A and B are shown apart, each in its own frame.
Chain A
């Protein structure tokens, strides 16, 4: 059974700090991995997509990496801001067309 684990489950950091969110998966036979942001009671906003042939993607202050051999992905947020407070979900696409979501990391940036 494929599983996705996100650590930590919750994180509070002061504004301005750099931080790393972790995502691990048990099945290395993945295709793409996608990071999402979800605000309370809202839908998911796609942040970064790492395709199977890639190792990382960057968008503004966000950088995501993928290491399929170790079954890990990280989302790096630079110079955090209060507006970054949200739940961050990673999801990977399995070869049987299924998408598997982690339970998310609830991030709170302290002003």
Chain B
């Protein structure tokens, strides 16, 4: 397994602003993922962030809205840009061990946009 931390744990932001969420892992991992969990819903994958390549975004998510950095094998950031109330969600990063078939999650960032 891996120990994952996220910053901030929660934030309240105003419409139109941007927030950058950090994800730190205690070991080197190739595959990192960013998810969104809207209130009362299950997890939706935003993008896969592999070190040394551009992030791969899922349908419905675009780089201009959710830019991702992956500067090394232990760290990644997700920015939620030009926020609206519809972006209020829990944002989670995860890492994969044993290939892509076992994931471990960070504690999440609870974002509220007013």
Contact = CB atoms under 8 A, between A and B. Distances in A.
Contact count band on A: 20 to 34
Given A89-B42, A101-B43, A43 B105 contact: yes
Interface string B23-51: 00000000000000000011101000000
Contact count band on B: 10 to 19
Contact of A104 (B42, B100, B104): B42
A83 interface: no
12 contacts: A34-B102, A34-B103, A41-B90, A41-B110, A42-B107, A43-B92, A43-B107, A45-B105, A51-B101, A89-B42, A93-B101, A101-B42
Given A42-B107, A102-B42, 6 more contacts: A43-B6, A44-B105, A89-B42, A93-B100, A99-B103, A101-B42
Interface of A: 31-32, 34, 36, 41-46, 49, 51, 89, 91, 93, 97-99, 101-104
Interface of B: 1, 6, 41-43, 45, 90, 92, 94, 100-108, 110
